Amino acid sequence: MKKIIIFMAFIAGLAWPAAADHHKKSEGDKAAIKTAVFDYFHGQGEASAERLFRAFEAEHATMVGVTKGDNGSESVRSWKDMTSVLNNWAANENPPGGDRDGEIISMNMVDDRLAVVLFRSADRFYDALTLGKVNGEWKIIAKAFVLQ
């Protein structure tokens, strides 16, 4: 019995550094994901092309949203050219400013390479953001939103 306990302690000792390393990597990834999400949010609020393009994989990202038409009816719209969208956001001559209220509601990571973030922007919209780890950097690759 004593040999079994010593063996189990030895195995646990080997597993501890690997678990600690994974936790560090996971915390680093979470921080990088949060940075990308807030680069998008504040980049839009500040009309900052630098922050927006840092947040998105613009060349390949897409956006889809449920919007309201002039007659009040809802419809789904999609934008396949995020480079143009980001340039339009950055060209806003009267941006809302960087002092807006927004929060990450939830964040889920899969396989250290894919994440889904639900985000609330004050009383304006909800986003579902999909981020991918591209060449070691977290980038928004898809954005779906609904207006509040």
**Given this model, what pLDDT does residue 24 score?**
55
**Given this model, what pLDDT does residue 1 score?**
52
pTM score? 0.81
Domain covering 2-147: architecture: Roll (3.10)
Tokens of 9: 């302690």
Torsion of CA 42, 123, 117, 51, to 10 degrees: -10
**Given this model, what pLDDT does residue 100 score?**
83
Q: Report in angstroms the alpha-carbon separations of 89 from 14, 52, 53, 104, 132.
A: 50, 8, 11, 21, 22
8 A C-beta contact, residue 57 and residue 132 = yes
Weakly modelled stretches of the chain, pLDDT under 70:
1-25
| CB neighbourhood size of 38 (10 A) | 18
**Given this model, what pLDDT does residue 18 score?**
43
**Given this model, what pLDDT does residue 25 score?**
59
Rounded distance between C-alpha atoms, residue 65 and residue 121, angstroms: 14
Rounded distance between C-alpha atoms, residue 64 and residue 77, angstroms: 6
Beta partners for residue 116, in sequence order: 108, 130
**Given this model, what pLDDT does residue 114 score?**
97
User: Domain residue spans in the chain?
Assistant: 2-147
* DSSP string of 2-57, one letter each residue: HHHHHHHHHHHHHHHHHHHHHHHHHHHHHHHHHHHHHHHHHHHHHT-HHHHHHHB-
